[in-house]
Amino acid sequence: MPLLRSERWASEAWYSGPEYDVNAAYDDLYSYRPLILFTDLVYVLFVWKIAPRARGIKLDPKLLKDVSIVWNCFNAITSIYMFVLLVPELKMALGNGWYYTTCRVGTFYTGQSSGHAMYLFCLSKLWELGDTVLLVARGRKLMFLHYFHHSVVVIQVMFTYYGAGSMARLGTDMNAFVHSLMYSYFALVNVFPQIRKYAPIITVLQLSQFVVACVGMLSLCGYVLSGYDCETSKTILPIHFFIYVMFFLLFMKFFMDNYVNNKDGRKNGTRKVE
């Protein structure tokens, strides 16, 4: 399903600099959709059927620790890379005001740096499913929050790339920023266990990204209802908003259960979402 030029967002037309080939990126991600659906189905079956049995398998703790460090370092580096590429476009958008940030696409998809980062961001949600495999290998019990979040996000980003329009800016930028810190923490905690006490901060950061994304989408809705032209899908908008609200409620429950109402979790900071 090629992305026709006539379907491009209007605010992209003024940009005269070197463009990222969003048509090729869209077609590429579109071609992956059957694979994504199959992979997500296998992932859910793995969580429900294989993971409970696999937790009893004993593997070399030293090897798993080393793999965890490498894996989380890789994800931290790619998240930092994406965030660095996204910052200039976000700075430009914010400089043009809140309406532009929430309602106009501009160069978010077509800028050389931000366009590449957005494409890589979508792909990253596929390989991040590996977080779950690593947790199971280390004998950890999987929380609903963990596998629900992973299984939904990969579908969300792969099936709404470009069509989401302007609403994707704040959510993507915040997620890249939070994951830069989150994966860095997960890598470091394997080397410096004493920093586990900072685990609640990671959850607060995760909550903050959903708050920012929801505020952006509510603002977008306000502009649309006021008659402003907003470059987004009126179909995708409520779906994204519902997903972000669900994530916020689940992460808030996790935070309250483990760091507010749980004295041991509050004292030791040993519980975390991976």
Number of Cα atoms under 13 Å in the Cβ half of residue 77: 6
* Active-site pick, 116, 146, 149, 240: 149
On whether the CB atoms of residues 206 and 251 are closer than 8 A, the answer is yes
Query: What single-letter amino acid sits at 239?
Result: I
Q: What are phi and psi of 146, to 5 degrees?
A: -65, -55
* Catalytic residue check, 179: no
20/41 Cα distance (integer angstroms): 32
Number of Cα atoms under 13 Å in the Cβ half of residue 233: 17
- What is the residue whose two structure tokens read 């059927």? 49
Q: Is residue 39 exposed (0-12), middle (13-18) or buried (19+ Cβ within 10 Å)?
A: middle
Number of residues that make up the chain: 274
> Ramachandran region of residue 106, left (φ > 0), alpha (ψ -120 to 50) or beta?
left
On whether the CB atoms of residues 171 and 244 are closer than 8 A, the answer is yes
- Paired tokens of 149: 């979040």
Q: Which residues of 100-137 are buried (b: 16+ CB within 10 A; e: fewer)?
A: bbbbbbbbbbbbebbbbbbbbbbbbbbebbebbebbbb
Q: Which residues are catalytic?
A: 149
